[in-house]
């Protein structure tokens, strides 16, 4: 319970789901934490759950300008960062003919462009050593129908984990990725589907998981704690797949 004592961490998308659970585990392990979100209701709830020592900030994960403001705010509050969990993301599942340019651009902005420029903006305040963990997705590795744009955005993050690991290790910065399978989080309630279609989709996805269930946010958070801690000091450019066996089918 003391693996992150003295560490300062930023978790994007940290006001719900995997991000919020990870923030709680980071705090339990001794870290000082900043989280971001967009929804005023979840932001207020996160402040209540995480306590007054946590820094909770509102921002658009797809806005390059907001990423620069976020880096400045965290730098002013914490001085430096020892760990960063890039977790904010959106998912839309629909066939290729249903996509338009605006929807495509929004997914890429939030899931790939925003994270890229956030990491760029954070470079001056990253400690040496520091750990960056990118939340990707098993969808980048399997051919799941209707996930084309989402999967492409997450495949880009996996690529960044590898290229940045080589580019930044000389600065003492480790970069790794976690690739969750289906997790029981509010993300699946944001797919823009009717309740009936959402249930059918959830049932189909569950049928593809050898473990026979959706994962829990805490199961991903534990992996992120490990990658953020000094226990993983020799883990660089890795993708940790946590999918209940889904990618083995």
Mean pLDDT across 120-134: 98
In 125-238 the beta strands, taken as DSSP E runs, fall at: 126-135, 173-180
Residue 248 lies in a domain: no
Mean pLDDT across 158-167: 97
Render pLDDT for 106-119 as a digit per residue (tens, 0 to 9).
Answer: 999 999 999 999 99
Residue 17 lies in a domain: yes
Confidence of residue 201 (pLDDT cuts 50, 70, 90): confident
Render pLDDT for 4-33 as a digit per residue (tens, 0 to 9).
Answer: 999 999 999 999 999 999 999 999 999 999
Please say if 150 is a catalytic residue: yes
- Provide the mean pLDDT of the chain: 94
Q: How crowded is residue 95: how many other Cβ atoms within 10 Å of its Cβ?
A: 9
Residue 21 lies in a domain: yes
Distance CA 84, CA 9 (A): 6
Report pLDDT for 186: 60
Segments forming the whole domain that contains residue 183? 8-242
Helix or strand run (H / E) with residue 58: strand 55-58
> For the residues of 211-228, what is the DSSP string, one character each?
TSS-B-HHHHHHHHHHHH
Q: What is the count of structural domains for the chain?
A: 1
Q: How crowded is residue 151: how many other Cβ atoms within 10 Å of its Cβ?
A: 21
With 0-12 CB in 10 A as exposed, 13-18 as middle and 19+ as buried, what is 119? buried
Residue 2 lies in a domain: no
Mean pLDDT across 153-174: 98
Return the C-alpha torsion angle 132, 25, 135, 103, nearest 10. -120
Distance CA 228, CA 232 (A): 7
Sign of the torsion angle spanned by Cα atoms 40, 43, 49, 55: negative
| Least confidently predicted of 15-19, 145-149, 183-187 | 183-187
Distance CA 43, CA 40 (A): 5
Residue 213 lies in a domain: yes
CATH of the domain at 134: 3.40.50.720
Report pLDDT for 248: 84
**pTM, rounded to two decimals:** 0.93
Residue 1 lies in a domain: no
Residue from 103, 34, 94 nearest 69 by CA: 34
Residue 179 lies in a domain: yes
Residue 72 lies in a domain: yes
In the block, which residue shows the tokens 């820094």? Answer: 55
146's torsion region: left (phi>0), alpha (psi -120 to 50) or beta?
left
């Amino acid at each position: 319970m003391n693996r992150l004592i003295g560490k300062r961490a930023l978790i994007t998308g940290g006001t719900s789901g995997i991000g919020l659970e990870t923030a709680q585990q980071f705090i339990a392990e001794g870290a000082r934490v900043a989280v971001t979100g967009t929804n005023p209701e979840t932001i207020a709830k996160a402040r209540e759950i995480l306590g007054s020592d946590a820094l909770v900030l509102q921002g658009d994960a797809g806005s390059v300008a907001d990423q620069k403001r976020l880096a400045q705010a965290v730098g002013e509050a914490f001085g430096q960062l020892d760990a960063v969990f890039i977790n904010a993301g959106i998912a839309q599942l629909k066939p290729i003919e249903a996509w338009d340019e605006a929807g495509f651009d929004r997914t890429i902005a939030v899931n790939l462009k925003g994270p890229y420029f956030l990491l760029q903006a954070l470079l001056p305040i990253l400690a040496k050593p520091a750990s960056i963990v990118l939340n990707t997705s098993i969808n980048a590795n399997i051919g799941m129908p209707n996930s084309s744009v989402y999967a492409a955005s997450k495949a880009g993050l996996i690529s960044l984990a590898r290229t940045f690991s080589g580019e930044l290790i000389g600065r003492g910065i480790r970069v790794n990725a976690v690739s969750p399978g289906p997790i029981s989080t509010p993300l699946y309630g944001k797919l823009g589907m009717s309740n009936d279609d959402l249930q059918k989709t959830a049932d189909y996805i569950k049928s593809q998981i050898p473990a026979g269930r959706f994962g829990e946010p805490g199961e991903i958070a534990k992996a992120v704690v490990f990658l953020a801690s000094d226990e993983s000091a020799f883990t660089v450019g890795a993708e940790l797949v946590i999918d209940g066996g889904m990618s083995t089918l």
